[in-house]
Structures are given as structure tokens and as C-alpha cells.
């Protein structure tokens, strides 16, 4: 492709609204442009890279026997009602009505549609297993679109679904997808970490995320370099110290005692004199709503609640913090004076963090404004509460497997695989006859990859101060060819000859044939970030050579003209790229 006739609108300055590196460089390099918040146009360079990513995804999915579909993005309300997700998706889902008043949505994912097809077409165990996939546009009404392609409202997803008769079959399908994902991300130049994850609104018995470590990520993962343990903090656990137990000298439990705390509504205030109750001695009670019903979560005063863990504990499809008026209605007091003692458990489900098991001598709110209770025994006074791991794991805590210190860092999710089980097949009636002629719900798995997230993740991992450093496998072009003195006939002719020969050999070339200074061409080439840069200049041609420079390396080599094509083809193949058909 000739740059003079191409649309590659590079920018010198960093866009003021771009905070993460991938957003900055994809805009500056002329890859993307924003149409509206969270909605981006893919310009020619980005589209070329995305097509290579989808080709890699498609080849690895086909390799495990998956069959490609293409389903409608527009879905009727009825099938989402069957699965129970019409209400669960809340404001995240784009909803609309047709001219007759029927409700539709723009699908965020396609479990419902694929399950609809399965229940209609699959009748016998002899038709299983099946593995179906598509590469298709998805929509999400993201509340806070930001970070370029990392949090958007329209995106491309590879979503696949497995259908099996047995749990063992699901395990095999899950493993096949996991290995395929390892190959996909590896071929795209991404170093990923596989972590245990929270299944959220997808449901199911378990899931694994594929994460790229980067400060641009919005997930936190806890990992151990010693034994390899890794989990999203929504699921991560840790080894914690033996809890403090406060009791009378003879070991007896002291009676509950109410005491006045006028104006004291924070953990910090209760630590100060005249009270002097440290955060480790306090029980923090937080009120949430899960699927419309009140939940109370109790954690230690110096811990933070992990909402995803509360969602898992409660089994709710969605949880949110309770509104102030709801808290007063259910608890009888305002935040700051709340506790789990004496609650009507028919109306309120109470959960207590597992690290609090066996503690006594604790302090909690009395559910009476301006009052607290001391000498609280978890065993005696909160036996109605369900024990569950609710707290957020922190940096430096012990690995749950080996005890070594955990590291907590940011990461970007690029893929997520789920064991759905019968979550959708039972609610939507997708069943087959087993060998005995008995109906069985199909056991399903769901597997997603964010295509644009691979693009952005590659930029996050592969860049420097000058621009992008594309992996050969997904680079828009294999190399940039720069004639440095366009007014010189010998330079122009040599560049044109190389362009024809390289293209004929299947090497994808971006020829910078603009009448620009060499410095401008070098800067744009580094910004766009193609893997190899060839510079044709008068000085080199005098020796029958051109400059060969690998993006990101300092060394510049002089290569004889007769060797350039062979060297370029070898570089493409060695870098995991694919020569174009000629």
C-alpha cells in the first residue's frame, strides 16, 4: 500500500482525553477515531490488524472442531425473560421497541440465542458434543466509557458455546477451549495469566480469566510467583493471621453491653478516645440489595468488602449498595450505627466474613442511632449469620496454597471461559434424550474473547517512547519501506523495484512515497510501529545496500539489495506472521 494514497491520519500531539497508552498511540498512529463516548471507528490500519487477529482466532477455534455461526445482534425480549437475564442486565443492556411495540435488545452476549437453537435442533445424545462459535458485534451501555478500546459500548467478541451430555464432557470442552486460548493469545503476542474468576451475571460453577498485566487494566489480580497461584481479587483468598479473641481473664464471655456513641458514625471515630476500640476489634456492617432483597454483610473494621464475593455468597444475580432510606427502613438506624445482632432473619439475610469465626469481645452498631454494643461474641450473638469469604485480599498476605506473599496488581481481561452447567438449558428447556431414553438438560460452557482488547492489549505490552511495536503476527503491514529522497530518481526507482519484489513474495509493505523529509518519515514509521523498517537512501545505494532496522532495536544493518526479499520473508515467518497469497 502506498502511503500517499492511503488514509493514515497520524498526530504529533497526545490527545488530551487519552489516559492509557493504547488509547494515545492508537489515536496518534491513525488507527482509531472516536464517534461518541465509547464508540470508535476502526480506520484502515486498525482494520487490517483486527482482520489478522480474527483470522488467528478462527483458525484455532476451527482446530478444536468448533463450527462458525453468525447470529443476529437484535434479540427479542422473550428469550432473555426465559433465562432470567432481561432484568438482571439492568441498565447495561441497550433496549428498544419495534414499530409494533415489541421489546428487543442489542445482545451483550449470545447464550440465550445459542440455547434457543440447541433446544430446537438437538434431540439426542448422539448429536453431542457440539461446539459453536461466532465473531460478531456486541453492545453494552457502559456507564463510564473510557480508556479507548478498553471500555466501550460497541465491541467485537468471539463467543463460543459447548454442549455436552455429562460434566466430564464439559470438562473436556473447557480444557479444549483453554488450550485454544493459550495458542490464540500467544500467536497474537500477548503474555497472559490465567486466573480463577467470578462468574457474575453469566452464572455457572466456575470460570477462568485470561489477563494481561498492565496498569491500563481495571481488574486486580492476586498472584504468587512461588507456586503459580493466581486469581482475580473478586475470587482470591489468602492465608490470614490467627484472629484476636477478646474475653474475660477466665475465658468466659462477657455480656453484651450497650453504650452511647453520640455523633460517632465511622470506624476512625470509634477508635478515638474516650472509646478506644481499634478497627480490628470492630464489626463493620454494610447493607446491600440482592435481586431486590436486603442483605447485610459483616466484615472486620479494617477490611474492605468485595461485592463480587457477597454476590456469590447470596446467590443473587445482581447486588448494589442499599439507599439511605432503605437502610433506615430495614435496620432502624442510619449508617454508622448498624449491626447484625437482633435482626429479623426472615426479612434480612446476614453474611459474616469467615475470618471473624470464633471472635469475641468485638464492637458493633446497636441499630439505634448514637449507640453501639460491646462484648460481641460471633458464636453467641451472630450465629444466625452465614459465614463466607467476603473480604478483599491485600498485597503481602499469604498465598492460600504455599503461604508466600501475594502480589496484587492491575490487569486487563482479554478472555473469559465459563462452566455454565445447566444454568441456561434448564431455564430455557434445552434437553436431549440420553442412552436410556430419558430427558437430560444439556450441559453448557461459554467462552469469550474481546477482539479489540487483543489489539489494545498488544499495544499496552509492545510500545516505547516513540510509538507502537507491533508483533509481526498482527501488524497491519510487515514492514515500512522509506525512500528518503523522493526527488532522486535512483532512490525512487530502487524503492519501487523493492516494493514490487517484496509484494510479489507475499510480504506486506507500506511504502512511504510522500514527498516528506526523512525525519518525518522516520517518526511516523516508529509511531505506526511496523515490525521492520527499510530505508532507501543515496548513500546506501552507492554501495548497493539499504538500511534494515527492526522496530525497537537500536542497531541499523546495511543489507545488500539482492538479499532483502529473502531476509524479509524469513523475518515474517520467524515472527509468526503469514505471507500474503500471491
d(CA 271, CA 38): 44
8 Å CB contact between 121 and 94: no
d(CA 454, CA 456): 6
d(CA 341, CA 498): 80
Q: Which residue in the block uniquely carries the three cell numbers 439507599?
A: 323
Which are the contacts of 167, defined by CB distance < 8 A and separation ≥ 6?
421, 443
Which are the contacts of 473, defined by CB distance < 8 A and separation ≥ 6?
52, 56, 187, 188, 189, 575, 576, 577, 578
8 Å CB contact between 338 and 285: yes
Nearest to 37 by CA among 205, 149, 171: 149
Cβ atoms within 10 Å of 402's Cβ, excluding its own: 12
What pTM, to 2 d.p., does this model score? 0.88
Which part of the chain has CATH 3.30.930.10?
A: 44-73+107-236+407-460
Please tell me the predicted confidence (pLDDT) of residue 197.
79
CB-side exposure of 169: number of CA atoms within 13 Å?
16
Compute CA 315 distance to the chain's CA centroid, rounded to the nearest angstrom.
22
Please tell me the predicted confidence (pLDDT) of residue 245.
61
Distance (Å) of CA 249 to CA 176, 246, 281, 564: 59, 9, 17, 85
Nearest to 334 by CA among 272, 396, 285: 285
Please tell me the predicted confidence (pLDDT) of residue 424.
95
Please tell me the predicted confidence (pLDDT) of residue 241.
73
d(CA 231, CA 211): 10
d(CA 267, CA 507): 65
Question: Is residue 573 classed as helix, strand or coil in its secondary structure?
Answer: helix
Give, in degrees to the nearest 5, the angle at Cα 399 between 394 and 401: 150
- Surface-to-core class of residue 263, CB atoms within 10 Å of its CB (0-12 exposed, 13-18 middle, 19+ buried): exposed
CATH fold for domain 44-73+107-236+407-460: BirA Bifunctional Protein; domain 2 (3.30.930)
Q: Give me the helix-helix angle, 21-28 and 451-461, nearest 10°.
A: 100
3-class secondary structure per residue, 363-394: EEECCCCCEEEEEECHHHHCCCCEEECCECCC
Per-residue pLDDT of the chain (582 residues; tens, 9 = 90+): 999 999 999 999 998 889 999 999 999 999 999 999 999 999 999 999 999 999 999 999 999 999 999 999 999 999 999 999 998 888 899 999 999 999 999 999 999 999 999 999 999 999 999 999 999 999 999 989 999 999 999 999 999 999 999 999 999 999 999 999 999 999 999 999 999 877 655 455 678 999 999 999 989 999 998 898 999 998 899 987 766 666 555 667 889 999 999 999 999 999 999 999 999 999 999 999 998 899 999 999 999 999 999 998 998 878 999 999 999 999 999 999 999 999 877 789 999 999 998 899 999 999 999 999 999 999 999 999 999 999 999 999 999 999 999 999 999 999 999 999 999 999 999 999 999 999 999 999 999 999 999 999 999 999 999 999 999 999 999 999 999 998 999 999 999 999 999 999 999 999 999 999 999 999 999 999 999 999 999 999 999 999 999 999 999 999 999 999 999 999 999 999 999 986
User: Residues of 548-571 as b/e, b for ≥16 C-beta within 10 angstroms?
Assistant: bbbbbeeeeeebebeebbeebbeb
CATH class (in words) of the domain with range 477-574: alpha beta
Q: Where are the alpha helices (DSSP H) in 13-159?
A: 21-28, 44-63, 77-83, 85-88, 111-121
Question: Is residue 50 classed as helix, strand or coil in its secondary structure?
Answer: helix
Distance (Å) of CA 67 to CA 64, 445, 487: 9, 15, 53
- Which pLDDT tens digit goes with each residue over 499-537? 999 999 999 999 999 999 999 999 999 999 999 999 999
Q: Which grid cell is 374?
A: 460491646
Please tell me the predicted confidence (pLDDT) of residue 562.
94
d(CA 423, CA 445): 10
DSSP string of 178-199, one letter each residue: HHHHHHHHHHTT---EEEEE--
Correct CATH for 257-388 of 3.40.50.300, 3.90.960.10, 3.60.20.10, 2.40.100.10: 3.90.960.10
d(CA 497, CA 38): 43
Which part of the chain has CATH 3.40.50.800?
A: 477-574
CB-side exposure of 9: number of CA atoms within 13 Å?
5
User: Per DSSP, what are the bridge partners of residue 410?
Assistant: 220
Please tell me the predicted confidence (pLDDT) of residue 247.
55
Amino acid at each position: 500500500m502506498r502511503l500517499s494514497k492511503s488514509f493514515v491520519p497520524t498526530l504529533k500531539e497526545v490527545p488530551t482525553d487519552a489516559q492509557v497508552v493504547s488509547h494515545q498511540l492508537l489515536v496518534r498512529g491513525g488507527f482509531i477515531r472516536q464517534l461518541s463516548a465509547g464508540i470508535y471507528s476502526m480506520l484502515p490500519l486498525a482494520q487490517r490488524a483486527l482482520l489478522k487477529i480474527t483470522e488467528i482466532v478462527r483458525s484455532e477455534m476451527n482446530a478444536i472442531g468448533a463450527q462458525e455461526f453468525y447470529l443476529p445482534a437484535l434479540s427479542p425480549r422473550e428469550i432473555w425473560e426465559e433465562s432470567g437475564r432481561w432484568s438482571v442486565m439492568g441498565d447495561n443492556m441497550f433496549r428498544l421497541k419495534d414499530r409494533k411495540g415489541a421489546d428487543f435488545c442489542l445482545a451483550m452476549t449470545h447464550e440465550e440465542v445459542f440455547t434457543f437453537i440447541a433446544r430446537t435442533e438437538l434431540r439426542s445424545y448422539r448429536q453431542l458434543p457440539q461446539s459453536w462459535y461466532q465473531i460478531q458485534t456486541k453492545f453494552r451501555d457502559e456507564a463510564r466509557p473510557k480508556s479507548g478500546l478498553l471500555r466501550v459500548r460497541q465491541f467485537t467478541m468471539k463467543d463460543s458455546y459447548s454442549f455436552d451430555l455429562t460434566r466430564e464432557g464439559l470438562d473436556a470442552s473447557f480444557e479444549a477451549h483453554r488450550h485454544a486460548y493459550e495458542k490464540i493469545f500467544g500467536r497474537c503476542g500477548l503474555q497472559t495469566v490465567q486466573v480463577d474468576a467470578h462468574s457474575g451475571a453469566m452464572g455457572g460453577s466456575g470460570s477462568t480469566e485470561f489477563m494481561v498485566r498492565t496498569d491500563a487494566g481495571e481488574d486486580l489480580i492476586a498472584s504468587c510467583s512461588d507456586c503459580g497461584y493466581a486469581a482475580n481479587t473478586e475470587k482470591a483468598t489468602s492465608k490470614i493471621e490467627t484472629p484476636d479473641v477478646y474475653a474475660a481473664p477466665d475465658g468466659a464471655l462477657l455480656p453484651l453491653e450497650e453504650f452511647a456513641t453520640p455523633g460517632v458514625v465511622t470506624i476512625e471515630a470509634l477508635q478515638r478516645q474516650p472509646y478506644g476500640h481499634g478497627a480490628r476489634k470492630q464489626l463493620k456492617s454494610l447493607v446491600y440489595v440482592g435481586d431486590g432483597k436486603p442483605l447485610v454483610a459483616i466484615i472486620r473494621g479494617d477490611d474492605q468488602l468485595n461485592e463480587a464475593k457477597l454476590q456469590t455468597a447470596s446467590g443473587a444475580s445482581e447486588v448494589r449498595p442499599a439507599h439511605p432510606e432503605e437502610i433506615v427502613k430495614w435496620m432502624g438506624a442510619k449508617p454508622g450505627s448498624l449491626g447484625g445482632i437482633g435482626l429479623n432473619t426472615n426479612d434480612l439475610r446476614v453474611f459474616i466474613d469467615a475470618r471473624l469465626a470464633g471472635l469475641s469481645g468485638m464492637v458493633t452498631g446497636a441499630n439505634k442511632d448514637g449507640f453501639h454494643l460491646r462484648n460481641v461474641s460471633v458464636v453467641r450473638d451472630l450465629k444466625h449469620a452465614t459465614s463466607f469469604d467476603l473480604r478483599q485480599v491485600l498485597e503481602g498476605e499469604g498465598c492460600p496454597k504455599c503461604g508466600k506473599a501475594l502480589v496484587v496488581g492491575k490487569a486487563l481481561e482479554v478472555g473469559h471461559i465459563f462452566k455454565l452447567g445447566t444454568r441456561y438449558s434448564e431455564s430455557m428447556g434445552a434437553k436431549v434424550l440420553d442412552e436410556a431414553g430419558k430427558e437430560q438438560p444439556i450441559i453448557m460452557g461459554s467462552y469469550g474473547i474481546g477482539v479489540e482488547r487483543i489489539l489494545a492489549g498488544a499495544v499496552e505490552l509492545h510500545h516505547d517512547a516513540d510509538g507502537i511495536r507491533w508483533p509481526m503476527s498482527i501488524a497491519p503491514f510487515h514492514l515500512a519501506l522509506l525512500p528518503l529522497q523522493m526527488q532522486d530518481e535512483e532512490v525512487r526507482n530502487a524503492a519501487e523495484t523493492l516494493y514490487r519484489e517484496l509484494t510479489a513474495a507475499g510480504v506486506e509493505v507500506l511504502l512511504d512515497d510522500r514527498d516528506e523529509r526523512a525525519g518525518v518519515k522516520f517518526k511516523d514509521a516508529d509511531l505506526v510501529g511496523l515490525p521492520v523498517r527499510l530505508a532507501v537512501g543515496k548513500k546506501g545505494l552507492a554501495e548497493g545496500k539499504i538500511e534494515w532496522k527492526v522496530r525497537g532495536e537500536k542497531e541499523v544493518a546495511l543489507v545488500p539489495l539482492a538479499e532483502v526479499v529473502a531476509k524479509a520473508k524469513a523475518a515474517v515467518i520467524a515472527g509468526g506472521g503469514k505471507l500474503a497469497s500471491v
